Amino acid sequence: METKKRTEIASLGQFGLIDLLTRDFAPQNPQTLCATGDDAAVIAVPEGEELLCTTDSFYEGVDFDLTYFPLKHLGYKIVTAGISDLLAMNATPSQITVSLGVSAKIPVEALQDLYEGIAFACKEQRLDLVGGDTRASMTGLVISVTALGHAPKERIVYRRGAQLHDLICITGNLGAAYMGLQLLEREKRVLADVADPEPQFKGYEYLLERYLKPRPRTDIVAALAEEKIVPTAMIDLSDGLASDLMQLCRSSHCGARIYLDRIPIARQTSALAEELHADPVVAALNGGEDYELLFTVPLSMQEQVMRLGLVDVIGHITAESTGCYLVTPDGSDIKLRAQGFPEQE
């Protein structure tokens, strides 16, 4: 939060601040007919497609800690989080709005860093910033992101479509973001009273990136389209594998069995978990903020799914009456729970 120059927000006023932060956002999508500068954005929906919309909010001290979270990375991450919900419905993200609640402790330069991260993500993902708002906040920085996207009606994927015997698939690896957060929190505690702190991150750079700058899985949605695969159900992994799988099963009125030895966990995740005397499986099941995709497909599509790359089949859908279970290598069944390590039954 330290900057060489500090410009108070009050010196610009609300509209001056908005103009400063959004002046470099040029529309990239032909559907964006009017972005910023008017009372509302004007967006055309491609013919034959449906408009999708989702909103996420982020609170300082709850969702992020500015002690160690660079604002450029935070700007990038909120875009990833915003559009991940659209990707989980097999849609193409196209526009976002960003609204801020800002306390007096934050200078203009800090907000410019935040918007630099937002701009980078927008350019990378071909998104248009089409609006937002700023207000005073008494509780620190508050950010609200609304993301808009579109998809043909027949390709939209809901949580409710999983069928008996469908394969359960996930992208990437799990638990890395959670362990990155644990690393940052550890260094914050250890260096709290140190005059010139030098945090020890060597060997765990991947974990920091997964927490501070998670990348949206736009590539997976594109690959699914190329292979002409429409999942029967899909959800993004923002709350942890156990919780998100259970949400999908509730919506689809089904059960699930996933296998412990098939859950992909990165080497750095396991290494830090061992160093902190933690269980990497707990991080994978309950950590959250991985922003990977969990989806189901019919058993007949197994070969097609494996051709996608970066996708692991970790289990299958069962009848609703059987519940949701994790199967250990020795064949034991552990009932999944939304929080904490599941208990063996």
Give the confidence band of 57 by pLDDT, cuts at 50, 70, 90.
very high
- Secondary structure (3-state) at 45: coil
Least confident of 20-24, 73-77, 248-252, 293-297: 20-24
Give the confidence band of 24 by pLDDT, cuts at 50, 70, 90.
confident
At 303-335, the pLDDT tens digits run 999 988 889 999 999 999 999 999 999 999 999
What residues have CB less than 8 Å from 228, skipping those under 6 apart?
none
Closest by alpha carbon to 309, among 176, 215, 171? 171
Does 206 or 10 have the greater pLDDT score?
206
The dihedral formed by the CA atoms of 336, 210, 59 and 113, expressed in degrees to the nearest 10: -170
Report domain 159-335's class: alpha beta
What phi, psi does 158 have (nearest 5°)? -105, 170
Instruction: Label residue 309 left, alpha or beta by phi (over 0 means left) and psi (-120 to 50 means alpha).
Output: left
pLDDT, the chain, mean: 91
Sign of CA dihedral 282, 283, 288, 290: negative
Give the confidence band of 4 by pLDDT, cuts at 50, 70, 90.
low
- Write down the pLDDT at residue 340: 42
At 232-246, the pLDDT tens digits run 999 999 999 999 999
Q: Widest CA span of the chain, in angstroms?
A: 65
β-bridge mates for residue 34, sequence order: 42
Are 168 and 317 a contacting pair, CB within 8 Å? yes
The CA distance from 338 to 235, in Å, is 15
Domain 9-155 carries which CATH code?
3.30.1330.10
| Mean of pLDDT values over 340-345 | 41
Compute the residue count for the chain. Answer: 345
Q: Please list the residue range(s) of the chain that carry CATH number 3.30.1330.10.
A: 9-155
Q: Please list the residue range(s) of the chain that carry CATH number 3.90.650.10.
A: 159-335
**Hey, what are 345's tokens?**
């039954």
Surface-to-core class of residue 170, CB atoms within 10 Å of its CB (0-12 exposed, 13-18 middle, 19+ buried): buried
At 108-163, the pLDDT tens digits run 899 999 999 999 999 999 999 998 888 888 889 999 999 999 999 999 999 999 99
**Hey, what are 233's tokens?**
């159900």
Closest by alpha carbon to 78, among 57, 107, 53, 103? 57
Q: What is the pTM of this model?
A: 0.90
